[in-house]
Amino acid sequence: MHASRSISKWDLDTPALVLDVDVLQDNIERMASFLAGKEARLRPHSKTHKCAEIARLQLAAGAIGITCAKVGEAEAMASVAPDILIANQIVGATKIARLMELRRRSDVMVAVDNAENVAELAEAAASAGVTVRILVEVAVGMGRCGVTTPEAALALAQQVDKARALRFAGIMGYEGHAVMLPDPEQRQATAAAAMAQLLAAKAYIEEHGLQVGIVSGGGTGTYRTTGTYPGVTEIQAGSYATMDGRYSTIVPEFKPALTVLATVISLPVPGRAITDAGMKSITPEFGMPPVLQPEGLQTVKLSEEHGILEGEGTAKLHLGDKVELLPSHGCTTINLYDRYQLVQGERVIGTWTVDARGRSQ
């Protein structure tokens, strides 16, 4: 944490990515408490927060490792996380070479769903003199990566098991199609069906003589189902730590720690205010960001560098006033910033670097 002179968050230059460290810590402890004593352990996804300091807090609260989406993210987390899952396929000579170098610094494992990729990984690991843990990804309804049958999962697991420099560690499957379903019963049923598919693959592989040590899945919206589903060993939830507007409607027990502060730069007509936070400062794909403070305002449009607010609250605004917005999607909003402005209440206490910002390679 970098020290900062004691100022109010309302004095920050804008747009500013603001993180309430007390709310963040409460969210981290709430998830850790839920999983305490359960078969499933927490391997939180860092693709949301992209911050080594937040990963450090999660590990201190009992997380067994960190999940990443890309090699670049894993490289940024390796200084604090000795055990990393890249929950994605790593394909091509350039990225595989980086993966092997990363393996020298962290006990990294990766997902596979293709025999050619397994062969490439095996050859590279043998040449580098390292051993890489492998999870076979199973498609469980997301319509993305993963093998689609238990037979295909077994074939890949057997190929991995025979490779000298690879180690078959288990399977993973992400029920992302369930995490945002608004109806709790539908969300629970959809997540449970996905985990049933994943555990069916586990059973089939073990029937043919291979041990499946890891069964990994889970998101913030489905943590209660996946985190208690018999046989699931790891949960990859990520957004719970910082939260955002969309997820707050799904799992309200976790509170938003993340906001964006913007400045009113124009009051062109009655009932409308323009801020300096557009799509390059806060992302709209999950909806327009709600205005938390002051009251009586709503975001109606975002262009690249401008946010357009309307409502009766505009009558009380002046040029230079600050407004506080709740990102509808934290993952993509955080990726727009170099640093978090850390606050306790309204007092700025320092900054943290968004270490994996832009690390999409």
**What does the alpha-carbon distance between residue 77 and residue 47 come to, in Å, rounded to a whole number?**
10
**What does the alpha-carbon distance between residue 251 and residue 222 come to, in Å, rounded to a whole number?**
9
Q: Which residues pair with 234 in a beta bridge?
A: 41, 216
Mean pLDDT of 117-136: 98
Query: Rounded to 5 degrees, what angle do the CA atoms 153, 154, 159 make?
Result: 100
Whether residue 207 has pLDDT greater than 80: yes
Predicted structure pTM score: 0.96
- Could you tell me the pLDDT band of residue 4, with boundaries at 50, 70 and 90? very low
Quick: pLDDT tens for 163-183.
Answer: 999 999 999 999 999 999 999
Whether residue 104 has pLDDT greater than 80: yes
pLDDT at 3: 47
Quick: pLDDT tens for 52-91.
Answer: 999 999 999 999 999 999 999 999 999 999 999 999 999 9
Strands (E) located in 166-267: 166-172, 214-217, 234-235, 258-266
Q: What is the 3-state secondary structure (H, E, C) of 164-189?
A: CCEEEEEEECCCCCCCCCCCHHHHHH
Domains defined along the chain, listed by start: 7-12+252-353 (2.40.37.20), 21-243 (3.20.20.10)
What is the β-pairing status of strands 83-89 and 234-235?
unpaired
pLDDT at 6: 74
